[in-house]
Amino acid sequence: MVNKTFLIAFIIIILDRIAKLIFFNSSSLNKGAAFSVLQGYNWLFILVAVIVIIYIFIKRNEKQYQIGMGFLLGGTIGNLIDRMFYNGVIDFISFLSIPKFNISDVSNIIGALLMIYMMKKNDAGKKSRKR
């Protein structure tokens, strides 16, 4: 059986790549992190991405976090591909006055929020069992 983490990550990577091909003409290259901070530190973002990927591979069998880790893994790999091939991240979604972003960015946010939610939920469950 395929691990949920890898299945979700695979779907996100494919969607991200297809969207970037379709919207390439209206895209921009972000050579920094969110809101274009730390421009010129592409090597640092690649290093952080590799660390996140290794961590997720180590923790991939923790069932309660698999969905969140899948979103995070897919987003991390999607942006890592851009950083390795384009020396930055291809952003193409523009919403109101928020700087441009991409599917991988949204996936990273969803994954992080899901994992935080599960951590809080597990922590609350542990506290209630102690009583």
Active site residues: 91, 105
Between CA 74 and CA 70 the distance in angstroms is 6
Contact yes or no for 19/102 (Cβ under 8 A): yes
Between CA 24 and CA 36 the distance in angstroms is 19
Tokens of 59: 């923790």
Please state the φ and ψ torsions of residue 33, each to the nearest 5 degrees: -95, -155
Contact yes or no for 74/12 (Cβ under 8 A): yes
Between CA 112 and CA 26 the distance in angstroms is 28
**Residue 74 C-beta-side C-alpha neighbours within 13 Å:** 28
